[in-house]
A = this chain, B = another copy of it.
């Protein structure tokens, strides 16, 4: 068995998770303290998260946590069967508090009691505030005991952790060598979730406005651990829930780090986080000058540049291209080279599937590498220029291009309730080809 296969056999069915949605468990003083839970349990389609986390920790007042456990049991027993995503309640835990850890054990023991009729819809538990690897093992051991106590299959309950300390960040580097030891069942690990608010506190970091630091190294290390140990990396909450543009920017920055999932605090954030990682339904050309990228607009089959950063005029013997005020006289080849440097194409799902199918056909015919061409006529200030760029695809390019398609296939296989939205967005034909390609 290969390394990956060995990790895979110990792993959860899902390979990708886009949305990690925590909703409050119990709101004190409301007539029905399970109201928000009940509401979350009825989400469907793009409104429903891949993983739903009824939150009996920070979102529930300490005095309400017993009631929170009963609310989770009640709502999950009632609506869990029809909920389209997975359900992983968050219980209390703290590396520095044995009494909190014991309370977490009792919460899990109660929620997983088969007589309460919830556990058959529960996929696992989320453990916050873990410390070093030995602290992770304590939570794992409690879940092992719970499985045994309640007659559940060993390893059937997943364990996800929230990384909110330097110690936990370091522990992620040890996972691969700790998993598989006969004295633990850490193979149950599912999500590695960054929790930047408490992490910032633990690291004693400060910013003048109280805004969270970006923590790029933490996110890299989480993504790397997920890769090395067969888990899934998920970024923490984005506090400014009004700022959808900022949320999408964070998601894109995360994707470049291999972190394809993000915490959602509201159903609106769930929708954004479900849609963002999927390739666009229409490709587009970008012009990037400095740090600003602008989309070209297709009209009559040609790509029009409507921005201010580029100016182009024909001269008697060539072209004058002005980029942010700096002008150059260029011949046709130089112009083309310059514009190729400034432009890039964002492929649609259809484009990606096309390229993959082309490569597969070539490979089946015995060719190891083929050139993929992208061409467009770009119009700047009424001057039309034909651009054409080739990229060599070999097996490695093909494999790397497959990540968004594998994500799409994972979503399609696990979220039937999103099929209609996918067909509406991409068309039935592209959806079919995208689910077939590469298999």
Residues in A lying within 8 Å of B, measured CB to CB: 2-5, 16, 28, 58-63, 95-98, 131-132, 135, 165-167, 169-170, 173, 176-177, 197-198, 200-211, 213, 216-218, 220-221, 223-228, 239, 242-243, 252, 255-258, 260, 277, 286, 337, 340-341, 344-347, 366-368, 391, 394-397, 399-404, 406-407
Which chain B residue lies CB-closest to A101?
B2
List B contacts of A209 (CB < 8 A): 286, 344-347
B2 touches A366 (CB 8 A): no
Is the Cβ of A95 less than 8 Å from the Cβ of B62? no
What residues of chain B lie closer than 8 Å to A198, measured between beta carbons? 396, 399-400
Contact A3 B167 (CB under 8 A): yes
The answer on a CB contact under 8 Å between A98 and B3 is no
Least CB distance from A55 to B in Å reads 11
Contact A204 B63 (CB under 8 A): no
Task: State the CA gap A309–B402 with chains docked (Å).
Answer: 43
Once the chains bind, are A347 and B210 in contact (CB under 8 Å)? Answer: yes
Number of copies: 3
Closest B residue to A346 using CB positions: B208
Known contacts A197-B397, A197-B400, then 11 further A-B pairs from the complex at CB < 8 Å, ordered by chain A residue: A58-B394, A58-B396, A60-B368, A165-B227, A167-B228, A198-B400, A204-B260, A204-B407, A207-B255, A211-B344, A242-B337
List the B side residues contacting A391 at CB < 8 Å: 239
A295 to B213, CA, bound (A): 20
Q: Are A28 and B366 in contact (CB under 8 A)?
A: yes
The answer to whether B256 touches A206 (Cβ under 8 A) is: yes
A-B interface, 10 closest residue pairs, ranked by CB to CB distance from nearest: A166-B227, A203-B258, A2-B96, A61-B368, A205-B258, A166-B228, A166-B224, A217-B220, A213-B256, A201-B400
| Chain B residues positioned under 8 Å from A96 (CB to CB) | 2-5
- The listed residue (B3, B62, B337) touching A368 by CB distance below 8 A is B62
Contacting residue for A228 out of B170, B340, B367, CB 8 A? B170
Give bound CA distance, A197 to B398, whole Å: 10
Chain B residues whose CB sits within 8 angstroms of the CB of A256 once the complex forms: 205-207, 213
24 examples of A-B residue contacts, CB within 8 angstroms: A3-B167, A60-B368, A61-B368, A62-B368, A63-B366, A165-B227, A166-B226, A167-B227, A167-B228, A170-B224, A173-B173, A197-B396, A198-B396, A198-B400, A201-B399, A203-B223, A204-B258, A205-B255, A206-B255, A206-B260, A209-B286, A217-B224, A218-B220, A242-B337
Knowing A132-B176, A220-B217 touch, does A277 contact B4 (C-beta < 8 A)? Answer: no
CB closest chain-B residue, reference A175: B170
Residues in B with CB closer than 8 Å to A407 are 204, 206
Instruction: Determine the distance from Cα of A131 to Cα of B208 in the docked complex, in whole angstroms.
Output: 35
Q: Nearest B residue to A64 by beta-carbon distance?
A: B368
In Å, the complex CA distance between A61 and B177 comes to 35
User: Smallest Cβ distance from A158 to chain B, in angstroms?
Assistant: 19
Cβ-closest chain B residue relative to A94: B2
Measured between alpha carbons, how far is A391 from B286 in the docked complex, in Å?
36
Contact in complex: B2, A223 (CB < 8 Å): no
A202 touches B227 (CB 8 A): yes
Question: Which residue of the partner chain B has the closest CB to A401?
Answer: B210
Q: Please name all residues of chain B whose beta carbon is closer than 8 Å to the beta carbon of A252 when the two chains form the complex.
A: 208
Chain B, Cβ-Cβ closest to A128:
B396
Closest to A16 in B: B204
Q: A3-B95, A4-B96 are in contact. Are A227 and B203 (CB under 8 A)?
A: yes
Most-contacted residue by chain B among A204, A242, A397, A403 (CB, 10 A): A204
Q: Report yes or no: A61 in contact with B3, Cβ–Cβ below 8 A.
A: no
The complex places the Cα of A260 from the Cα of B208 at a distance, in Å, of 13
Q: Check if B206 sits within 8 Å of A277, measured CB to CB.
A: yes
Shortest Cβ distance from residue A355 to the other chain B in the assembled complex, whole angstroms = 9
